[in-house]
Amino acid sequence: PTVEGDDLPWAKYWDHFFQGPTGQWYVEKSLTTIQKDDPVSEMNSKLWNTGIEADKDLARKRKRRLHYVSNIYVVADPENPENEGKVFLYGYGAKIFEKIMDSMQPKFQDETPVNPFDLWKGANFKMKIANVAGYRNYDRSEFANAEALNADDSVLEGIYNKQYALSEFTDPTSFKSYSELNLKLTRVLGEEVKTNRTEIDYVDEDIKNESPFNDSPNDVKDPVATAADPVARADSDNDDTMSYFAKLAAEA
């Protein structure tokens, strides 16, 4: 469930992870997560908008990666039984998040909405991992039937109190400044990065169904040039989810 002080039972952020021609790696969270300009997003937009295929390939390789993080309770883990009965932070990608949203907001009228984060009326997630074309794939993973995690409310309270706050993943103080990121980017690329920050039209780097953890390359689609600000779209996407949780609170 949602931890006190958090708005949702998951945190959502973007980062960049790529190797430059210098051999150095750029591994940093994207400032677009907190609705600020980011030097890599600006660079990718300029590359994409040249229309040159080689530049587009570079933009694809350096695109943002979407991450989600939630608290999870391990019910069963045959390969690592020492994890059972414990609470962990778990990072996942768009594919698993899509399954969560399908459970909470089903597309068909004959399906009953289930909030998997509810300790009393939620559902266990059965993780089924396959290797597809060299990638970890979670397509066969699914939620079990809705039921209480435990019949004893005192046990549920103990589980709730073991959760971790998720705010740290989107706390502005956990992000480097634009200047710091631009300096890091310059070192990784081995060249000065120049962008006109007042004329950037962000490329939509968020490729639907592509996950930094698991998804098959068959799911990859080209980014769309001259798209609207990705952060503004992200805020819009969250509106329906926030409304959903507000409705749950009203019905409680």
Flag whether 29 is in a domain.
yes
In a domain, 212, yes or no: yes
Which of 79, 226, 218, 82 has its CA nearest to residue 137? Answer: 218
Q: Could you give the number of structural domains in the chain?
A: 1
% of residues, the chain, pLDDT over 90: 73
How far is residue 37's CA from residue 44's CA, in Å, rounded to a whole number? 12
Using CB atoms within 10 Å of the CB of residue 91, give its burial: 0 to 12 exposed, 13 to 18 middle, 19+ buried.
Answer: middle
- 65: domain CATH number is 3.90.198.10
33 in a structural domain = yes
Q: Which residues contact 147 (CB under 8 A, 6 or more apart)?
A: 121, 122, 123, 124
Amino acid type, 56: K
Q: How far apart are CA 10 and CA 64, in angstroms?
A: 19
Does 174 map to a domain? yes
Mean pLDDT calculated for residue range 126-145: 92
Instruction: For residues 109-116, give the mean pLDDT.
Output: 94
User: What is the rounded distance in angstroms from the CA atom of residue 183 to the CA atom of residue 199?
Assistant: 21
The pTM of the full predicted model, rounded to 2 decimals, is 0.77
**pLDDT for residue 234 is more than 70:** no
Confidence of residue 249 (pLDDT cuts 50, 70, 90): very low
Is pLDDT at 100 greater than 80 in this prediction?
yes
Residue 120, pLDDT above cutoff 90 = yes
Is 176 a member of any domain?
yes
119 lies in a domain?
no
Q: Where are the alpha helices (DSSP H) in 82-172?
A: 94-104, 153-161
Mean per-residue pLDDT, 1-6? 93
- Going by the DSSP 8-state scheme, the letter that residue 32 receives in this structure is G
Cross-strand bridge partners of residue 52:
none
Read off the pLDDT of residues 173-229 as tens digits, 9 standing for 90 and up. Answer: 999 999 999 999 999 999 876 655 544 444 544 433 333 333 333 333 332 222 223
**Domain ranges, residue 19:** 11-107+153-251
Q: Does residue 81 lie in a domain region? A: yes
Backbone angles phi, psi at 76, to 5 degrees: -145, 135
pLDDT tens figures, 49-80: 999 999 999 999 999 999 999 999 999 999 99
pLDDT score recorded for residue 224? 27
The confidence score (pLDDT) of residue 203 equals: 52
As a whole number of angstroms, the distance between CA 59 and CA 48 comes to: 6
What is the separation, in whole angstroms, between the first and last Cα of the chain? Answer: 14
